[in-house]
Structure 1
Amino acid sequence: MFPTYDVIVVGAGHSGCEAAVAAANMGSKVLLATMNMNTIAQMSCNPAMGGVAKGQIVREIDALGGYSGIITDHTAVQFRMLNRSKGPAMWSPRAQSDRMLFAAKWREMLEAHPNIDFWQEMVTGVIVKGGRACGVYTSLGLEIQSRAVILTNGTFLNGIIHIGEKQFGGGRAGERAAKGITEQLKELGFEAGRMKTGTPPRIDGRSINWDALETQPGDEEPGKFSYTDTPRLARQLPCHIAYTSQEVHDTLREGFDRSPMFNGRIQGLGPRYCPSIEDKIERFADRDRHQLFVEPEGWNTCEIYVNGFSSSLPEDVQFKALRKIEGFENAKMFRPGYAIEYDFFPPTQLKLTLETKLVSNLFFAGQINGTTGYEEAGCQGLMAGINAHLAIREEAPFVLRRSDAYIGVLIDDLVNKGTKEPYRMFTSRAEYRILLRQDNADLRLTPLANQLGMQGLQERMQRVAAKQEAAEEIGRFVRKASVEPGQVNRYLTGIGSQELTQKVKLHSVLIRPHVDLQSLRQVLPELNQFLGNYEQEFIELAEIDMKYEGYIERERERADKMNRLENVRLSDQFDYHELTALSKEAREKLTAARPATVGQASRISGVSPADISVLLVHMGR
């Protein structure tokens, strides 16, 4: 009935979809197994992609040939570049999506791929022979053979949904939990844990008094995620901002005695940076209000997502409290918020390729690794898909370093540090933020994907070359051109910058604070004429490279110094217990983690700089 597949991907959420596409575009024959074909790539939580640090990840997925950015551009209802008031290392794209169109577009693109087949059924276990994954078992008793397996089970592994004192099995509202996989993996020696996440109630937009809310429009000139020729938004839907109040908080507290979070029924740890509304008013009792983002679910629906009001309180308490919010006095609820508790596997059990250490050719990606967020899941799926393809062909693995990508930071954090709560990416987690900007992800990563043999990157590579060449040409022009005081002094005075007293190079003016090329174009006709030949994206890259040249160079030097440790390999058979100069904790941690390089060893919690020095001396370095 089935052929032997190269790769079977279990789960068709954001991680599973990217895993399937990545392996298929590398040339593998892929089976994507899901319990429900109608919920492929469903946005289970908020209908948005990107945000702080997450937007950089979506750009990186796109640069590596993934589809998340393309899908988002085709289905967006609003686009905003966050943190524009800060430096470019902090700029983060974010888009509201049409939830139904997003899932439909993903399915359309997956079904158009000749290397991807589908099977709708629950997978109950992994076929393991000789310590190697070689297929899956299904609930119908089928055995489907493959050369590698990627598990992307999301919140479905023994999932339990909590609403007040009610609890029932489920991986998502209206969908059953997945059984069997956790139990089998434990028998194989894997360690498992429990985590929880939540979602807010959905509201009928027709029942909201929009005039009472603050409007949050998209950017006047909306950008996009993909570096390919995807459409730009011609019109946008606004988001809105509402606020809780002391009265709302008091109403919510009435249900705390029936809250599964406070009475101990939920054992899993929830996300620190996206807490439930009851958690927020408990932890921040001194605050008399909290901000809520009221987000549309799509172009042709009145369903509204209340971002910031995630809750597992009883439905009657949620409803009563919602109606205390200004603008929500007559609100109608489509469904209440809920918490979901599910199994995950501590990611310290993985290699940097996301292959498990215990079973070869078995990969974990997404929330099964303890992460939260579509973007974090998608990038893990993409990396697992690439490495599964490489593993079955016994080719060198593809690992991104911390100085290569936010994706590299995320996976390195998970594998070396683990996580005891749902892991979310922030710019603060990346020590090389100036190198890892959202505007240069294609320059950083598309050539790497092209070298791997990822299909369909010819046009992308041509654009990368054109972008790099344009940035260099603009840089040469700005460094060579001169400006007279009379040309720019009125502009400089207007922004509070010191006037010129003599003719200087344009570059020296540009690198001043608050000066930008767009403004200089208004006062320098020759510059305006020259830049008219280039896309805004290319101009922005050149400007950032020039204005932050010193910072970029220093960061690159730091990265190069650290990356030298990544070139010092450690044997998988190294006996750390014999190296008595190491601290006892380091010997235990290194033995358990089995790092591939000294650089990786240096990032393991409990391994000190002194321990690293001992390792280097032992290895003759």
Structure 2
Amino acid sequence: MSLFTTTYDVIVIGGGHAGSEAAAGSANMGAKTLLITMNLQNIAQMSCNPAMGGIAKGQIVREIDALGGYSGIVTDKTAIQFKMLNKSKGPAMWSPRAQSDRMQFAETWRTMLEQTENLDFFQDSVNGLIFDGDTIIGVKTALGLEIKAKTVIVTAGTFLNGLIHIGEKTFGGGRAGEGASTGITEDLVEKGFESGRMKTGTPPRVDGRSLDYSKMTEQPGDDNPEKFSYLPTTKPLQKQRSCYLTYTSQEVHDLLKEGFDRSPMFNGRIKSTGPRYCPSIEDKINRFAEKDRHQIFVEPEGWNTVEIYVNGFSTSLPEDIQDKAIRSIAGFENVKFFRYGYAIEYDYFPPTQLTHSLETKLIKNLFFAGQINGTTGYEEAAAQGLMAGINAALKVQNRSPFILKRSEAYIGVLIDDLITKGTEEPYRMFTSRAEYRTLLRQDNADLRLTPLSFEIGLASKERMDRVIEKKEKTENLIDFIKNLSVKKEEVNPILEAKNLATVNQSLKLFKIAARPQLDFNDFRVIDKLENYIQENNIDNEIIEQVEIYLKYSGYIEKEKSNADKLNRLENVPIPYNFDYSKVKSLSFEAREKLSKIKPVTISQAGRISGVSPSDVSVLLVYMGR
């Protein structure tokens, strides 16, 4: 049965962070899109922590924004605190992070989606996929409706056969208070897909009125907060809410251990793999037994709510153990619970079954994004969703896929890692995963990506005009500094104030400004420079770009050179159905891995675990290079 007469260009299954960005991306690319979700009130729900960004994740949010996605704008509109992390390190490590008002976040997402042209909504559960041979042509819902589509994007999060664990209690669900999704996994496995199980968890939520903050360390936001979006849709925060820091203790650990025999993690009921870099509290004290305390971050869930997210206390231990242990944490002695922590197991599909456009290799026009691909985190999910939405729209429009290289974006690193290496544990992004992180900074995501997005028709003219202006003003100010001669009387007072060696003659400002001990603002006492800044309306964003160039241009140029060399191998294609068994000089492991993953270039082949440099050399010879 079908009440839908429209054949949609794109159907997006799931309204989480991946689904929301996928729906926005495809609709803004001109594709007639339908977003199907189990509960329209929970679109883009922050199921876990009420925050966006962080180490490497903040770079991803900036990249999503530069491409024309919504995550950065929504975060700015709903932020209650902003911090630039790792500011004491080099700019490649600077990572923006914002606490959000969780209820406002979901509401703002829904409002922006409702204002997006070409986008329809439907509340129902998808419990089946419709195929025509090796091509997907639509979906079946729990109400018995069949809805046809040219492409389908599955962004089911933790809902595919989701199972929630609290101590010895187990019940089906995609998250607290919501049912699991069944049927999709079974249809895909029948078509030959390999599936697996993963686990994630969430901490308790408590009543902030019951906490004693005097026993904790206050964690305020930045004095001069920035924002995520490159567009002037909002201003930086004028006021902020503080977070707080406290610690577990040996007493807390001992109380937690009392519940280990009833822990689903330790008694064998949970057999799937959880996130190594965001372990549960019971996993922490088990794996790091030598540590007598762990950090607990006390994070408010919004401006007007008293609900608190207990970051660092993710757990699936029985509720009585959670209750006893948390009361032994400083400041939590009289705590009142809103809800207990829990673990959730769900189905995922190893992402080596996808191409770089996030389309599946087995079924045409079917795309996966988010936790179905084995990732964890709102930011990683949103990035995949946006790329899947773009590529589904391009597929309908008979245009080439949009694929970002590892040297172009953290999003490129994320997708290439998933497709080429796969993952057997929930994957999260780190700066260490990006070999070109000096190029992939949070400050230049718009310069890197907006022109590419504008070319395919997603980024707006407003975004592109701002990028052109930023680029021109940055280059002009650099040229001005390179050519500006300054007298020793102008610069020596600046150097003396920093206890640095003075100069004995006039010289170009560029030579002095590169000194690591000096900030750009130190030189603004030089009249010619300050006049240029005022006359040309140079803002802090431009000054930051110029200062990074002055200090790190050598490193940046070296990394560009390395990227160019490796990118040459990206231009050596491998035919999709190439028979590796014919190349006897390849190792057995290489033949096996290459046949399974089917890399599209020599460069990708070289990144596959088990393919050695000598195997790459053999392939280069075989391909006539």
For Structure 1 versus Structure 2, the TM-score category normalised by the shorter chain is over 0.9
Task: Give the CA RMSD over aligned residues.
Answer: 1.0
Does the 8 Å CA contact 2:298/2:309 hold for their aligned counterparts? yes
- Kindly indicate whether residue 565 of structure 2 is the aligned counterpart of residue 526 of structure 1: no
Q: Secondary structure of the equivalent of 2:245?
A: strand
Distance 1:499 1:280 in 2: 52
Distance 1:529 1:136 in 2: 63
- Kindly indicate whether residue 463 of structure 2 is the aligned counterpart of residue 452 of structure 1: no
Distance 1:121 1:428 in 2: 40
* 1:559-570 to 2 correspondences below 5 Å: 559-570=563-574
Q: Secondary structure of the equivalent of 1:240?
A: strand
Q: 1:132 aligns with which of 135, 155, 171?
A: 135
Distance 2:497 2:182 in 1: 66
Offset at 1:215? Answer: 0.8
Distance 1:384 1:573 in 2: 24
Counterpart for residue 198 of structure 2: 195
Does the 8 Å CA contact 2:57/2:95 hold for their aligned counterparts? yes
Q: Which digits, 9 at most, give the CA deviation of each residue in 1:472-517, with x for residues without a partner?
A: 1110111111233333334324434322232221111111112111
Distance 1:495 1:347 in 2: 53
- Kindly indicate whether residue 30 of structure 2 is the aligned counterpart of residue 23 of structure 1: no
Distance 2:502 2:131 in 1: 73
- State the one-letter code of the partner of 2:504: T
Counterpart for residue 422 of structure 1: 426
Q: Secondary structure of the equivalent of 1:440?
A: helix
- Kindly indicate whether residue 328 of structure 2 is the aligned counterpart of residue 328 of structure 1: no
Offset at 1:393? Answer: 2.3
Offset at 1:230? Answer: 2.0
Counterpart for residue 481 of structure 2: 478
Counterpart for residue 85 of structure 2: 82
- State the one-letter code of the partner of 1:24: A
Q: Secondary structure of the equivalent of 2:442?
A: coil
Offset at 1:139? Answer: 1.0
Distance 2:522 2:289 in 1: 46
Distance 2:90 2:192 in 1: 46
Q: 2:601 aligns with which of 580, 584, 597?
A: 597
Q: Secondary structure of the equivalent of 1:501?
A: coil
Q: 2:383 aligns with which of 371, 379, 383?
A: 379
Q: Which digits, 9 at most, give the CA deviation of each residue in 1:553-601, with x for residues without a partner?
A: 1100110111111111111121110011111111111111111111111
Q: 1:171 aligns with which of 174, 187, 190?
A: 174
Q: Secondary structure of the equivalent of 1:134?
A: strand
Counterpart for residue 223 of structure 1: 226
Offset at 1:190? Answer: 0.4
Counterpart for residue 293 of structure 1: 297
Q: Which digits, 9 at most, give the CA deviation of each residue in 1:216-245, with x for residues without a partner?
A: 111111101001112121111111111111
The ranges of structure 1 where at least 4 consecutive aligned residues each deviate by more than 4 angstroms after the TM superposition are: none
- Kindly indicate whether residue 504 of structure 2 is the aligned counterpart of residue 501 of structure 1: yes
- State the one-letter code of the partner of 1:616: L
Does the 8 Å CA contact 2:28/2:117 hold for their aligned counterparts? no
Does the 8 Å CA contact 1:60/1:445 hold for their aligned counterparts? yes
Distance 1:74 1:431 in 2: 33
- State the one-letter code of the partner of 2:539: E
* 1:8-407 to 2 correspondences below 5 Å: 8-231=11-234, 232-407=236-411
> Could you list the runs of 5+ residues in structure 1 that have no partner in the other structure?
none
- State the one-letter code of the partner of 1:544: I
Counterpart for residue 468 of structure 1: 471
Distance 2:499 2:161 in 1: 61
Does the 8 Å CA contact 2:130/2:139 hold for their aligned counterparts? yes
Distance 2:487 2:276 in 1: 54
Distance 2:506 2:316 in 1: 66
- Kindly indicate whether residue 598 of structure 2 is the aligned counterpart of residue 615 of structure 1: no
Distance 1:339 1:88 in 2: 36
Distance 1:34 1:226 in 2: 27
Distance 2:214 2:531 in 1: 45
Q: How many residues align?
A: 619
- State the one-letter code of the partner of 1:460: R
Distance 1:605 1:565 in 2: 17
Distance 1:203 1:233 in 2: 26
- State the one-letter code of the partner of 1:447: P
Does the 8 Å CA contact 1:531/1:539 hold for their aligned counterparts? no
Offset at 1:529? Answer: 2.7
> Could you list the runs of 5+ residues in structure 2 that have no partner in the other structure?
none
Does the 8 Å CA contact 2:55/2:95 hold for their aligned counterparts? yes
TM-score calculated relative to the size of structure 2: 0.98
Q: Secondary structure of the equivalent of 2:192?
A: coil
- State the one-letter code of the partner of 1:445: L
Q: 2:540 aligns with which of 533, 536, 540?
A: 536
- Kindly indicate whether residue 559 of structure 2 is the aligned counterpart of residue 574 of structure 1: no
Percent identity of equivalent pairs: 65
- State the one-letter code of the partner of 1:293: F
Bigger Cα displacement from structure 2, 358-367 vs 487-496: 487-496
Distance 1:222 1:488 in 2: 30
Counterpart for residue 512 of structure 1: 515
- State the one-letter code of the partner of 1:437: R
Change (3 A) 1:589 1:176: same
Distance 1:120 1:150 in 2: 16
- State the one-letter code of the partner of 2:169: K
Q: Secondary structure of the equivalent of 1:260?
A: coil
Distance 2:166 2:491 in 1: 63
Distance 2:528 2:442 in 1: 29
Distance 2:498 2:431 in 1: 29
TM-score calculated relative to the size of structure 1: 0.98
Distance 2:418 2:496 in 1: 50
Q: Secondary structure of the equivalent of 1:178?
A: coil
- State the one-letter code of the partner of 1:15: A
Distance 2:242 2:504 in 1: 47
Counterpart for residue 409 of structure 1: 413
- State the one-letter code of the partner of 2:132: K
Distance 1:288 1:219 in 2: 30
- State the one-letter code of the partner of 2:479: R
Offset at 1:4? Answer: 0.5
Distance 1:254 1:91 in 2: 41
Distance 2:610 2:298 in 1: 43
